[in-house]
Homo-oligomer: A and B are copies of this chain.
């Protein structure tokens, strides 16, 4: 009797969002990115645990919002009008609402996104087995 194996269960869902041709002025200073990421967290229905934003003299802003459901991060390159945003969720959140909010708030004219399932409980064949290497 043949049996179809159950599909793997992912512990988290991770969106890698590329925001191009943004409003460059919004990429320069930490308070703008903090406001935008906190707005996105609210739009998704996330519970904010803390946020930390830093300015870099030549590379814009780096920031993180830690949420009960995982995190949002941003890195901006004002000179290229580009922001790299990550939304990692291990809970039930409205990710599409967050992505839409971020795209509009930064004024991005082009976007690209990848969605990666994190923590697959049924391991794929691609994982590397390190237990055999302890000779």
Q: Which residues of A are interface residues toward B (Cβ below 8 A)?
A: 11-12, 14, 16, 18, 20-21, 49-50, 52, 54, 56, 59, 62, 64, 66, 68, 70-71, 73, 75, 77, 80, 82, 84, 86, 88, 90, 103, 108-112, 114, 116, 118-121, 123-124, 126-131
Contacts and interface: CB of A to CB of B under 8 A. Distances in A.
B88 A75 contact: yes
A16 B118 contact: yes
Nearest to A9: B80
Nearest to A129: B110
A3 to B, nearest CB: 24
Given A11-B77, A11-B82, A82-B11, A128 B111 contact: yes
8 contacts: A49-B54, A50-B54, A59-B90, A71-B75, A109-B131, A110-B128, A110-B129, A112-B126
A14 B16 contact: yes
A119 B74 CA distance: 12
Contacts of A73: 64, 71, 73, 88
B71 A64 contact: yes
B71 A11 contact: no
B56 A119 contact: no
A84 B88 contact: yes
A31 to B, nearest CB: 16
